[in-house]
Structure 1
Amino acid sequence: MRITDIREARVSIASDIANAYISFATMDVSILAITTDARVAGRRVVGYGFNSNGRYAQSGLLRERFLPRLRDAEPSALLDDSGHNLDPFRVWSVLMANEKPGGHGERSVAVGIIDMAIWDIVAKVENVPLAQLLAERHGDGRPDARVAVYAAGGYYHPGKPIQGLQDEMRDYLELGYTCTKMKIGAVPLAEDLERVEAAIDIVGDAGRLAVDANGRFGLRTALAFADGLAPYGMRWYEEAGDPLDYALQQQLSEHYALPTATGENLFSHQDVRNLLRYGGMRPDRDILQMDPVLGYGLVEYLRMLEVLRAHGWSSRQCIPHGGHQFALNIAAGLKLGGNESYPRVFAPFGGFADSTPIEEGQVALPQVPGIGFEDKRELMKVFESHLGR
């Protein structure tokens, strides 16, 4: 088996939304298609990849560093022992050759994009959904039939009043979601608490609403918001401070009894280990949100899960960032606690298969080999228009 073609492109997902830290006015993503000479049911096997939202396209790193390593590798160096399929771990090692430890920033995103496409190929060659393949190789053999998902939104829009936030939350409930998330931290505490109360009025229970500060706060403000949020009983309080400020997270955990969440901006198993060592995270309530694309891909995410197990954590406390079909397969196959979803933003990369609607806050996976992108019509149109068939 050989890789015969690799194509990469940059696609805009720009919008006028913002969180407490960044605007998405110029946001874009990289998309990737890796073609092989393998055929299943008469069709050539092609794997697709892209990066999760919140990090920009990785064209430079892909074209100048990582894709050349993939192209130049001996075909046998990429294969599993059977010689009939790719080995994601061996591919990962090829990609990371001559890379020094540390420096996990943007290179982890570029590697994650390739890793997604490789896993798509591997599952397609085996002719099974990725969730099933993961359950058989790295789980208990039986993927979850349905995965709990929450609707991430509540961004700051120019001129968007509280009524607009309520309309958005109402829309999510009508789509079948039972839990939602909104942004905080871009306006003063009193104003954000008005927004929180307005959202609770729609979702009906603060335990069905999470809030996300996107790392905006220093310690004093993080604790002030914690005090303001505590009476409501939120589902979780996410990324109060900088993701690498483990001391802040530890002090927040000591101060705030309710669940916190963080991890989407940790890109290696070493960073996750440090969070668990020094961040005061509590395995009985807190949520870990590492993104299996932004953090070097699923190969590294499996290492993160090994770190969690060593520290006494259940995989059910993981609800990954990303909101796409790849993360959904991982959540089902490895029995995570749920998955993020972006119902109205970052289309068509976010969201799940066309054939699997949200029902009572959960979603099923289509019985499609690979990640299941072929059951996302609008996303396939983007792949085909930018990368060719």
Structure 2
Amino acid sequence: MKIVSIDEKAVPISSDIRNAFIDFSKMNVSIVAITTDVIRDGKPVVGYGFNSNGRYAPTGLLRERFVPRLLDAKQEEILNDEGTNFDPEKIFRVLMQNEKPGGHGERPVAVGTLDMAVWDAVAKIEQKPLYQLLAEQYGDGDIDENVFVYAAGGYYLPDKGIPQLQDEMEAYLDQGYTHVKMKVGGASIAEDLKRIEAVLDVVPSGEHLMVDANGRFSLDEAITFGERIKDYGLFWYEEAGNPLDYELQAELSKQYPHALATGENLFSFQDARNLIRYGGMDPKKDYLQFDCALSYGLVEYMKIVEMLKEYDWSPRNCIPHGGHQMSLNIAAGLGLGGNESYPGVFEPFGGFADNYPVENGYVKLPDVPGIGFEAKGNLYETLRSIGK
């Protein structure tokens, strides 16, 4: 059993949308294909992976360091002890050979991209959906057949006014979502409050709306904004300040009375633990958004989940960033609180399997081996283009 080849390709997900910090006009992602010599249904098993939106394609890191390192590894360094499948934990150790601690930067994005492809291949070799494999080998055996998902939108766009914002949110509700999220921090507080109030006219109540500042605010701005929105009773107030400013998060936690959410831009076990130690987050009401596809992959994510339990956090308080099928499998297999979704945005990487509609805020997963990319037609077509 061996890896035959690993191919990488950078593909665009460019869009005119913007949040409080960046626009997506030049955004791209890496897609990878790990081809093995294992045959299932008459074809070699191929594991696919990609990095989440918001970080650029780590092409150089993959091609110059991590792909050659994995291809050069000995069989015993990448296979499980029985020699019957690839071992994601061993592969993680291979990828991280000769890597200095700290300074995570874009490195975890590259490793997370390969990690996704490894898990896709492992589950396909076992001929099981990844969520089932995770529940059996790492969870309590139970699977969430329906996973909570919310619609992340409300981006700033040229010539997008309040009527268009309301139409967007109404469309999400019509698609079966019960909760929606919108961007803030990219306009004046007065303008953003008008935008929030307009969306509140559309959704059933404040508990059905999240707001996301994408790390834009200073401490004073974060507290001021929180003071202005606290009476709306929102589902959560997300990433008010810089993701590594744990003091800001802790001070905001003292001032803002409702749920906070953050973590999508923390890319390591150590950074996640520092947030829990020093960020003032409340395990009874707050949410964590670590995205395995950006943070060294599922091997690292499971270390984070175990760490959280030591600090009395439930996996149900984890709702990952990214809106992709990998996190959906993790949510179903490990009992997380749900998953983000990007209806019609960041295609073909956002969204879930074809013919599996969102119903009353929940979605089912397909019963196909691996992560399920083959059940999403436009994504599978893109992934199959690697190497062509």
TM range (shorter): over 0.9
1:386 equivalent in alignment to 2:386: yes
The answer for unaligned runs of 5 or more in structure 2 is none
Give me the whole-angstrom Cα distance separating, in 1, the residues matched to 2:320 and 2:225: 24
**C-alpha distance in 2 between matches for 1:239 and 1:105:** 19
List aligned pairs for 1:235-246, cutoff 5 A.
235-246=235-246
Partner residue in 2 for 1:42: 42
Cα distance in 1 for partners of 2:251, 2:317 equals 20
Q: Does 1:269 align with 2:265?
A: no
CA deviation after TM superposition for structure 1 residue 77, in Å: 1.0
* 1:26-73 deviation digits (Å, cap 9, x = unpaired): 000000000001012322210000000000001000000100101111
Does the Cα contact within 8 Å between 1:32 and 1:387 map onto a contact in 2?
no
Cross-structure match for 1:319: 319
Q: How many Å apart are 1:204 and its aligned residue? A: 2.0
Distance, in Å, in 1 between the alignment partners of 2:237 and 2:171 is 22
Q: Is the 8 A contact 2:32 2:386 kept in 1?
A: no
Match of 1:301 in 2: 301
Letter of the 2:192 counterpart = D
Q: Deviations over 1:77-128 (max 9, x none)?
A: 1000111210000000000001111011100000000000000001001110
Q: How does 1:82-121 map to 2 (within 5 A)?
A: 82-121=82-121
Alpha-carbon shift at residue 386 of structure 1 (Å): 3.4
User: What is the correspondence of 1:10-49 to structure 2 with a 5 Å cutoff?
Assistant: 10-49=10-49
Q: 2:386 aligns to what SS in structure 1?
A: helix
1:140 aligned partner: 140
Q: State the number of aligned residues.
A: 388
For residues 178-203 of structure 1, give each alpha carbon's deviation from its aligned partner in whole angstroms, at most 9, with x where no partner exists: 10000000111111010001111111
Q: Equivalent residue of 2:294, what SS?
A: coil
The residue aligned with 1:153 is 153
Could you tell me whether the CA contact under 8 Å between 2:373 and 2:380 is conserved in 1?
A: yes
In structure 1, what is the equivalent of residue 278 of structure 2? Answer: 278
Q: Distance in 2 between matches of 1:91 and 1:271?
A: 22
Q: Is the contact made by 1:150 and 1:178 (CA closer than 8 Å) also made in structure 2?
A: yes
Q: Is the 8 A contact 2:295 2:301 kept in 1?
A: yes
Does the aligned pair in 1 maintain the 2:33–2:386 contact within 8 Å? no
Counterpart in 2 of 1:256? 256
The TM-score normalised by the length of structure 2 is: 0.99
Measured after TM superposition, the shift of residue 76 of structure 1 is 2.2
Say if 2:200 is the partner of 1:196.
Answer: no
What SS does the corresponding residue of 1:293 show, helix, strand or coil?
Answer: helix
Shift of 1:387: 3.3
Paired letter, 1:230: K
Amino acid at match of 1:209: L
| Deviation of the 1:143 alpha carbon | 1.2
Aligned position for 1:219: 219
Contact 2:147–2:332, Cα closer than 8 Å, also in 1: yes
Residue 8 of structure 2 aligns to a residue whose secondary structure is strand
Q: Which runs of 4+ in 1 moved over 3 A?
A: none
2:326 corresponds to 1:338: no
The alpha-carbon deviation at position 384 of structure 1 amounts to 1.9
Shift of 1:165: 0.4
Structure-2 residue corresponding to 1:79? 79
Matched to 1:345, the amino acid is: V
Matches within 5 A, 1:119-134: 119-134=119-134
Q: Percent identity?
A: 61
Structure 2 counterpart SS, 1:151: strand
Please state whether the residue corresponding to 2:36 is helix, strand or coil: strand
- The amino acid of 2:224's aligned partner reads A
TM-score (norm 1): 0.99
Q: Within 2, Cα distance between the matches of 1:141 and 1:189?
A: 47
Question: Counterpart in 1 of 2:57?
Answer: 57
For residues 190 and 205 of structure 2, the distance between their equivalents in structure 1, rounded to whole angstroms, comes to: 20
CA contact 1:355–1:366 (8 Å) conserved in 2? no
Aligned-partner SS, 1:385: coil
Q: Does structure 2 retain, via aligned residues, the 8 Å contact 1:89–1:299?
A: yes
Provide the residue aligned with 1:287 in structure 2: 287
